[in-house]
Amino acid sequence: MKLKNILFLAAGFLAMTSCSDDITTPVLKLQQAAKLNAVNPAEITFTQENSDKAFPDISWEKANYGKGAVVKYTVTITNNENKKSIVAGDTEDAKLSFTNEAMNSLLAKIGAYPGHTYDFTVSLKSSAFETLTDDAQNTVNFKATPYDPNTVGIDWNYAYVAVGYPEWDYSKAYLLGDPDGDGTYKGWVQFDDECSFAVVDGKDVTKVLAKDLKVDADHKGFVEVTLTPDGNVTIGQPCEWGMIGEATSGGWSKDTKMEYDKDTRMWTAVTPLTDKEFKFRANEDWKINYGSDKNNPSVLAQGGENLKVAKTHAYIVKLNLTTAGKYTYTMEETDIELSSAELSVPGSYQGWNPTAETAYRLKSESRDFQYTGIYYYPANTEFKLYDDGKWLGSVGEVKWNDTKTKAEFAIGDGANIKFTEGGWYRITANTKKMVASVAKTGWEIIGSATPSGWDKGQLMTYNPETKKWSITITMVEGEYKFRWDASWEKNFGGVLTGLTEGGANIKIGAGTYLIELDPEAKTATVTEQ
């Protein structure tokens, strides 16, 4: 009996071992490889008009790995000219579908440039059980001629800024343009990093207009690139853009800043505007500014005419500077919270009555919570701001500069603000950020004859009894003018005995002078010391 039991157990063990081998050895294997169907039609030219149409399906007869097998398929497209490949997609279905626009974008990633016809090969792999991978029985081919949707509507000469040339992606390239046909290409480009680039002809990408160009650390950012007919390329200084003018809260003195979106390539500001005028300018300076082209009001021109706002409202303003040399902007009405139109400045100079006519007012023309106003305050004046029933004083320290001409501070339920010295002051407040600043201001002289040239004015001293302004200053031979509040919005020039608004520069020789200005009479005297 014992021998029989041993033989029985041994037989059972062998049977179990045999079953175990059957489980670990796959019973499924490739029985029939997938087979790609021809792309039909096998040649296509992409255009703006057919971009939303369906590209011919990439389809196949499925692989056979046995009953119950879950099979995945991976489609790869290869550019036969440069041998670059890209995975077009994965699926468990027997086809992949694309729009012409999607396929056009896909082909751009493997070096297929606009206006040229390329041969492409479609290959297919099937996989099952995560361990079995097999090629399809065949590959298929098609021809395609890509196009660049970013150049639709550009009927003048243009060029690409090909970063990383010769390995570059036209779909991400910025454009330079020659809309005037004078052989000079210009355009704005965002360089995020130091890099190399070439300039490639837009209508024939095999033609390189300039190459081996470098972007260094000083030229990263949003810059203007210029290509002259002799092949010389210059890169401007990085620029930040803003809006300025009577229509904005800062008037012609302070820019409303715009923000750049790298995805849309637009400069945007969401801001209230009044029914007046404005312009776009770079870096808070007039060297680069855009207004309306008098010959073509639908586009912007360097130094063009002021842009007009149809009605007072809040707007989303978008500035488009990346369209191959012809620049445009849009204004869309929007609903945003508006501030009050003004704050009053009650204080010791008028009896602390915020509603009295004697109280100075800070204006917010665009009602964007930013207020400003310039007034004369006697020595030791104390004051606060008043906004629709709410008193606003200084919270914490009022931080004056060394010359006691400028200060910044937080505002809220705080203390009185004090001017120890009498004078004309510009007060600026932002009731959204709850901050304010004050700066001594008034009439100044500025020009090539003054110590800081045309870059910075020299503030004159005000006499409240005579209402005249004076300064003793050492000048070099040159020219100068008078201007108000460091802005060219109000300036005097011409003849000292009869100054005129915006008049000509005044000539002067080298020396030290006492200069006195009577802005009411529009006269001035110059006495050598």
**Does a structural domain hold residue 173?**
yes
Q: What is the pLDDT of residue 27?
A: 58
Q: How confident is the model at residue 272 (pLDDT cuts 50, 70, 90)?
A: confident
CATH of the domain at 523: 2.60.40
Distance of CA 153 to the CA centre of its chain: 22
**Does a structural domain hold residue 26?**
no
Q: What is the pLDDT of residue 24?
A: 42
Contact 34, 126 (CB under 8 A): yes
Same domain as 313, residue 415? no
Q: Which residues pair with 58 in a beta bridge?
A: 96
Contact 273, 308 (CB under 8 A): no
Q: What is the pLDDT of residue 17?
A: 44
Same domain as 133, residue 78? yes
Tell me if the bond preceding 114 is cis, omega within 30° of 0. Answer: no
Q: What is the pLDDT of residue 6?
A: 43
Same domain as 295, residue 222? no
pTM: 0.62
pLDDT tens per residue, range 200-221: 999 999 999 999 999 999 999 9
112-134 b/e (C-beta count within 10 Å ≥ 16 → b):
bbbeeebebebbbbbbbeeebeb
For residues 113 and 49, give the distance between their C-alpha atoms in angstroms, rounded to a whole number: 18
**512 Cβ contact list (under 8 Å, min separation 6):** 472, 473, 474, 475, 528, 529
| Nearest alpha carbon to residue 426 among 434, 437, 411, 410 | 437
pLDDT tens per residue, range 25-74: 455 789 999 999 999 999 999 999 999 999 999 999 999 998 888 999 99
Contact 225, 195 (CB under 8 A): no
HSE, side-chain direction, 13 A CA sphere, residue 371:
25
Same domain as 379, residue 425? yes
CATH of the domain at 423: 2.60.40.3620
Contact 342, 363 (CB under 8 A): yes
Tell me if the bond preceding 41 is cis, omega within 30° of 0. Answer: yes
Same domain as 128, residue 45? yes
Range list of H helices, 212-295? none
**Does a structural domain hold residue 84?**
yes
How many domains are there within the chain? 5
**Does a structural domain hold residue 12?**
no
- Comparing 7-21, 150-164, 322-336, the range with the smallest average pLDDT is 7-21
**Does a structural domain hold residue 7?**
no
Same domain as 79, residue 119? yes
**Does a structural domain hold residue 524?**
yes
pLDDT tens per residue, range 419-454: 999 999 999 999 989 999 999 999 999 999 999 999
Q: What is the pLDDT of residue 295?
A: 86
Q: Which two tokens stand for residue 502?
A: 């915006």
Q: How confident is the model at residue 517 (pLDDT cuts 50, 70, 90)?
A: very high
CA dihedral 200, 202, 204, 208 (to 10 degrees): -10
Same domain as 220, residue 154? yes
Same domain as 415, residue 383? yes
Where does a domain end: 275, 307, 333? 333
| Nearest alpha carbon to residue 227 among 197, 258, 257, 263 | 197
Does 382 score more than 80 pLDDT? yes
- Comparing 206-220, 247-261, 435-449, 467-481, the range with the smallest average pLDDT is 247-261
Same domain as 287, residue 210? no
**Does a structural domain hold residue 22?**
no
Percent of the chain with pLDDT over 70: 95
CATH of the domain at 118: 2.60.40.3640
Q: What is the pLDDT of residue 390?
A: 93
| Nearest alpha carbon to residue 457 among 477, 437, 481, 438 | 481
**Does a structural domain hold residue 81?**
yes
Same domain as 397, residue 472? no
Q: Residue 389: which domain range?
A: 342-440
Contact 113, 50 (CB under 8 A): no
Sheet holding 58-61, edge to edge: 35-36, 58-61, 95-96
Same domain as 406, residue 386? yes
Contact 139, 77 (CB under 8 A): no
Contact 198, 208 (CB under 8 A): yes
Where does a domain end: 147, 173, 189? 147
Where does a domain end: 405, 440, 475? 440
Percent of the chain with pLDDT over 90: 82
Q: How confident is the model at residue 142 (pLDDT cuts 50, 70, 90)?
A: very high
Q: Which two tokens stand for residue 138?
A: 């065949």
Q: What is the pLDDT of residue 297?
A: 85
Same domain as 126, residue 228? no
